[in-house]
Amino acid sequence: MYTEYDSQIDVILKNMTLREKIGQLNQKNIPNDINKLEDFKEQIRRGEIGSVILADSMHAGNDPQRNIDTEFYDEFQRIATEESRNHIPLIYGRDVIHGHRTVYPIPLASAASFNPELIEKCYRNIAEEAANDGIHWTFSPMLDLCRDPRWGRIIEGPGEDPYVGARCAEACVKGFQGSNLSNDDSLVACAKHYIGYGASEGGRDYHRTEISDYSLYNYYLPAFRAALDAGIGTVMSSFNDINGQPVTSSKKYLTDILREYMGFEGFVVSDWTAVIQLKAQGVAETEADCAELAVNAGLDMDMMDECYINNLEELVRNGKVSETVIDTAVKRILRIKLAKGLFDKPYCRTVVYDRAQHLADARELAAESMVLLKNDNVLPLSKNSKIALFGPMRYERRALLGGWTLDGKACETPNFYEAMTEAIGKDNVFVGGEPTELHYDRSWEMWEMQRSDVVVLALGESEKVTGEACSLADISLGAAQKQLVKRAKASGKKVVGVFFCGRPIALEGVAEDLDAVLYAWHGGSQVANAACDILFGDTVPSGKTAVTFPRKTGHIPLYYNVTSSGRPCNCYYNNCDYASYIDGQATPYYPFGYGLSYTSFEYGKPVADNNEISLEELKKGNSIKISAEVKNIGEVDGKETVQLYIRDKVASQMRPMRELKDFKKLLIKKNESVTVTFELDYKKLGFYDSDGNYKVESGEFDVFVGENCLTENVITVCVYD
């Protein structure tokens, strides 16, 4: 895909010194110290910097960052393109993760929308805004499959399912990169963190992982494969080791699998100072060792630690690194710079976009991402209701944007109180005193609850306990919020909990005291308005969980696509009650793919156009078509995500008890029926062995079509030799 530029690159390479080549592999940030700026400019002038990361710290997602300054960036670009010997432009990268000025739901929430088309549209919007600020390259999407919500970075990925991850990957890449990467309104996307970072042991950030090759190919690689198929330009390597081998220095993962097996043609960038961390990981003694291991493994660009620029010349001279290896890395980087059009259009360019439309799209995606977890005939609320609004998130702004938000403005973000008063009028919203005010007391709180029709609690977590280096040992709601729920329950009023969270939290001991639970996530610039749209019935909820909600932290890991066991030990499908733990039932509180609506859907039994098919027919491109009738039997129109799962009943290796193979999100009007048809083809009926070979085996498959992974709406089909 990007090799079309190679003849042009060969001409450039012939004129470059070894030092200039290595400079293309060096990524630095702009110094905060004004006294160091001249040295920085001189490095650019000498061709010793190939990329600039627009971040002031490794935790840019939650740390304050300097404001964007396109004139400042153009000055560095002018030096690179006019004063350096080879006139090679810089490529500017920034953590544009799930929004720019307009912030969209965190990726885990967006995955819950089960709406790839809307995700792609919103990420197209993100690209327009970021490109307008001189950004060429975004370090997104994050595609780490994760089964442990203690890990703070679960918020940045698509959840626990490889198929959902693949669909989200494709949508994000197409959104960021657009129809032509060289367009002014496109960003180069970066699939991260390759690979296995989300499997960090114990949910501890940066920790070790143990991933079999069988799991790697079937669970952790599919989203990256989809990103590559969508034409992604770059990949970021992960910090972690796999089975004792750091990915940063792994030829197996960076070259053998990523390039030779999957055919990647772009370039690989390290994560922040990951190369020098090989010393701490115990596989390198010196910085030179780090550089040698990483570049020979296939890691092209060194982010921030300058191991390459400081050591590669000597390593080439003493024969430890071939200059051909350097040339190959430079070629990969120049492919992307040429594809982005930076040689022809190096300077910041104005991109015209419709900010009002971006906000409207953010509101739509936030609403479609919200999951109605519980509703005991209390929602939707009447707009004439008197609402007692309490909870720590009612006036919150910054947390609503979520972690890894560098450029969204809290001051432009409506809080939940403002959104609610906009929806139903200030006189209908009772808030009482503030916890920070001396006159606040609980008798006042109870009085406000008593005179209301319903109590709405704005609950959740700060963005500062999510994201990088923000893992938690306990994912349950804090004690103060639990006490507030108990007090609201004691009021005798109906109580609605609206949760503004990043990760899925353990809701046992909380949800039982709530009459309705709306999981709004850290949903971005318009999440407060979108939550009110759902609460008051302007929008019918349609989100589905993209990750399992455990009852307790101690039940982690708990995920739906688990294999069976020889004896009862896994209670996900409620087939063994207390077999997992004798002190509590370890079924999911809310399973994967779960979400309620304001209407009800009735599923007909799935029907196959043919109950059996031969392997030969599958390989020729034929398929089994599975159809099911879905009827809206409620009182309002609503969207339903119809999900198809399979189980390979007998295989050469243990297969999951359920695995999602397709879904379709449809608007079904009240009293209407639709027939939903899926195709089970060769790509959906097989799996990868430990060597990465894909195969479909003969035998019976249970095929489930329903509203979530627990559906028992099943038909059996057969594949024969």
pLDDT tens, position by position, 341-386: 999 999 999 999 999 999 999 999 999 999 999 999 999 999 999 9
Closest CA to 639 of 610, 676, 686: 676
Helix, coil or strand: residue 685: helix
Residues 383 and 514 occupy one common structural domain: yes
DSSP H or E run through 679 = strand 673-680
In percent, how much of the chain has pLDDT > 70?
Answer: 98
| Spatial separation of the C-alpha atoms in residues 157 and 145, rounded to whole Å | 7
Asked whether residue 648 is assigned to any structural domain, the reply reads: yes
* 585-624 per-position pLDDT tens digit: 889 999 999 999 999 999 999 999 999 999 999 999 999 9
Of 526, 555, 584, the last residue of a domain is 555
Residues annotated as catalytic (active site), given as ranges: 271
CATH number where 442 lies: 3.40.50.1700
3-state secondary structure of 55: coil
Nearest alpha-carbon partner for 391 in 473, 487, 463: 487
Co-location of 294 and 429 in the same domain = no
Question: Is 75's pLDDT higher than 60?
Answer: yes
Residue 228 lies in a domain: no
Give me the helices (H) in 113-161, please.
116-132
pLDDT band at 442 (very low <50, low <70, confident <90, very high): low
Q: How many domains does the chain have?
A: 3
Range of the domain at 49: 1-88+260-347
Residue 261 in 3-state DSSP?
helix
pTM, two decimals, is 0.97
Number of helices (H), then strands (E), in the chain: 21, 27
Give the contacts of 383 (CB within 8 A, at least 6 positions apart). Answer: 423, 424, 428, 536
H-type helices in 154-260, by residue range? Answer: 162-177, 213-215, 222-229, 251
Model confidence pLDDT, tens digit, residues 177-236: 999 999 999 999 999 999 999 999 999 999 999 999 999 999 999 999 999 999 999 999
Tokens of 350: 């104005």
Going edge to edge, which strands form the sheet with 494-500?
Answer: 371-375, 516-519, 494-500, 454-460, 387-390, 429-430
User: Do both 454 and 489 map to the same domain?
Assistant: yes
pLDDT for 304-332, tens place per residue? 999 999 999 999 999 999 999 999 999 99
Average pLDDT over residues 403-423: 97
Looking at residue 281, which CATH number applies to its domain?
3.20.20.300
CA distance 282 to 296: 18
The answer to which of 41-50, 558-567, 593-602, 674-683 has the lowest mean pLDDT is: 558-567
Query: Are 534 and 645 members of one domain?
Result: no
* pLDDT recorded at residue 439: 46
Q: Say whether both 381 and 433 belong to one domain.
A: yes
Query: Is residue 253 included in any domain, yes or no?
Result: no
Give the dihedral of Cα atoms 423, 427, 433, 435; nearest 10 deg: 0
Give the model confidence (pLDDT) of 689-711 as tens digits: 999 999 999 999 999 999 999 99
Do 439 and 475 lie in one domain? The reply is: yes
For residues 483 and 581, the model is more confident at: 483
* Within a domain: 430: yes
Q: What residues have CB less than 8 Å from 619, skipping those under 6 apart?
A: 682
pLDDT of residue 8: 95
One domain for residues 462 and 493:
yes
In a domain, 376, yes or no: yes
> What share of the chain in percent tops pLDDT 90?
92
| pLDDT for the residue 22 | 98
Other beta carbons less than 10 A from residue 450's beta carbon:
13
Q: Are residues 338 and 364 in the same domain?
A: no
- Which of 488, 521, 555 represents a domain boundary (last residue)? 555
CATH number of the domain that residue 686 is part of: 2.60.40.10
Tell me which residue of 192, 180, 167, 162 sits closest to 61, measured CA to CA: 192
Mean pLDDT of the 668-677 span: 98
Q: Which pLDDT value is given to residue 441?
A: 55
Helix (H) or strand (E) holding 19: helix 18-24
The confidence score (pLDDT) of residue 436 equals 47
Is 120 within the bounds of a domain?
Answer: no
Give a yes or no: residue 364 inside a domain.
yes
Written as six digits, the tokens of 323 are 């200059």
Q: Specify whether 660 is located in the same domain as 551.
A: no
Please report the pLDDT score of residue 185 as a whole number. 98
**pLDDT by residue (tens digit) across 134-186?**
999 999 999 999 999 999 999 999 999 999 999 999 999 999 999 999 999 99
Write down which residue in 315, 347, 379 finishes a domain.
347
Helix or strand (DSSP H, E) at 430:
strand 429-430
For the stretch 98-113, pLDDT in tens is 999 999 999 999 999 9
> Is 392 in the same domain as 540?
yes
Judgement on whether residues 359 and 327 belong to the same structural domain of the protein = no
- Tell me if the bond preceding 141 is cis, omega within 30° of 0: yes
- Asked if 404 and 551 sit in the same domain, the reply is yes
In a domain, residue 153? The reply is: no
- pLDDT for 576 beyond 80: no
Contact 626, 703 (CB under 8 A): yes
